Amino acid sequence: MTPVLDVKKLRMDFGGLRAVNDVDLHINEKEIIALIGPNGAGKTTFFNCITGVNKPTAGDVIICPPGATHTKRINGLKPNVITEKGLARTFQNIRLFQNMTVLENVMIGRHTRMHAGIAGAILRNKKTREEEQKVIDDSYEILKKLNLEQFVNELAKNLPYGAQRRLEIARAMATDPFLLLLDEPAAGMNPQETHELVDTINKIRDNENITILLIEHDMGLVMTLSERIYVVDYGKLIASGAPDDIKKDPEVIKAYLGEDTNA
């Protein structure tokens, strides 16, 4: 089976700093994969390269959406084009459109899948009106899936923290992705919220057929959720495999705890 995302020898240089150093990574359909590593290891840069925020220096990012007959190389494309191709992401710090309502935040994502142009918006013909209604209905459905329907007309900035985090995921899902990239989705959550997040992510994978790649520091979450784990340190891939193997990997222990563990 062709992986839905196949990253080969990805490299990202910022001046003299090699933030991502020849990283290989692949994800099969409906897998949940975690990308872990110490702070500053290059995990977010890796996400940025895949989603078009940064243009990789070298390497290939190849996608093969489920059902597609051939693969496509996407590095160097603009973020909005990559989003249209079916990749969506969240950020580790909340980046909602704070002064818009919850519904509007999701609708914005949904508009990617809408075809009416400016002419349609001005003329407001039947097709445009139907499409707009569909955007609202779809958006509301997505909000329901993430238990956000009670906030529908609130401004995003007035939501409690956990709900803001869920809204980020809702907005990403609105673009209809086959691959969802979550950057520290559990950051700042309490154990109860983290527990609910695990359920939510599992549900998204099982019910929506969305493949998931996540960056996370909460090892409990990583170990329960992910099927495979990739570990990076100083931009380099140092280990990959099943959670149990990663736990015992000496390279990984060294990266997390430092060279001299006898102290």
Partner 1 sequence: MNGTYFIELFLGGLTRGSIYALIALGYTMVYGIIQLINFAHGEIYMIGAFTALIVSSVLSFTGMSPVLIFIIAAIAAVVWAAGYGMTMEKIAYKPLRNAPRLSALISAIGMSLFLQNYVLLAQTSDFQPFPDLIPDLAFLKPIETIMNTTQFIILVTTAVVMVVFTLLIRYTKMGKAMRATAQDMVMAQLVGININKVIMFTFLLGSATAAIGGVLISSHIGQINYYIGFLAGIKAFVAAVLGGIGSIPGAVLGGFVLGLTESFGTGYISSDYEDVFAFAILIIILIFRPSGLLGKTTRKKV
Contacts to partner 1 from residues 181-210, by CB under 8 A: none
Residues contacting residue 110 through CB under 8 Å, at least 6 positions apart = 135, 138, 139, 142, 174, 175
User: Would you say 99 or 192 has its CB closer to partner 1?
Assistant: 99
> Whole-number minimum distance, CB 3 to partner 1, in Å?
22
Which of 160, 190, 38 is closest to 96 using CA atoms? Answer: 160
Residue 104 sits in the site that holds partner 1 (CB under 8 A): yes
121 interacts with partner 1 by CB under 8 A = yes
C-alpha separations of 35 from 58, 82, 213 in Å: 20, 20, 7
101: exposed, middle or buried (Cβ count in 10 Å: 0-12, 13-18, 19+):
middle
The minimum distance between CB 263 and partner 1, in angstroms, equals: 34
Which part of the chain contacts partner 1 (CB under 8 A), choosing from 14-22, 30-38, 47-55, 220-228?
47-55
Contacting residue, 89, 165, 205, 228, with partner 1 by CB under 8 A: 89
Strand ranges across the sheet with 5-14: 17-27, 5-14, 58-63, 72-73
Contact criterion met (CB below 8 Å) for 23 and 46: yes
174: amino acid identity, one letter: A
Residue 64 CA, distance from chain mean position: 17
Total residues at interface with partner 1 (CB under 8 A): 31
Give one DSSP letter per residue of 199-263, joined into a string. Answer: HHHHHHHHHH--EEEEE-S-HHHHHHH-SEEEEEETTEEEEEE-HHHHHH-HHHHHHHH-S----
**Cβ closest to partner 1, residue 157 vs residue 203:** 157
98 near partner 1, rule: CB under 8 A: yes
111 makes contact with partner 1 (CB under 8 A): yes
Q: Does 53 interact with partner 1 (rule: CB under 8 A)?
A: yes
Which of 14, 80, 130, 251 lies at the binding interface for partner 1 (CB under 8 A)?
80
Q: Which is nearer to partner 1, 52 or 235 (CB)?
A: 52
Q: Which CB atom, from 132 or from 249, has the smaller least distance to partner 1?
A: 132
Rank residues 9 and 78 by Cβ distance to partner 1 and give the closer one: 78
Task: Find all residues with CB under 8 Å of 66, minimum gap 6, and list them.
Answer: 4, 29, 178, 209
Query: Please, what is the minimum distance in Å from the beta carbon of residue 114 to partner 1?
Result: 7
Report how far Cα 209 is from the mean position of its chain's Cα atoms. 14
The interface region with partner 1, picked from 64-72, 79-87, 224-232, 254-262 by CB under 8 A, is: 79-87
**Which residues would be at the binding site for partner 1 (CB under 8 A)?**
51-53, 78-80, 83-84, 88-89, 91, 95, 97-100, 104, 107-109, 111-112, 114, 116, 118, 121, 132, 171-172, 174-175
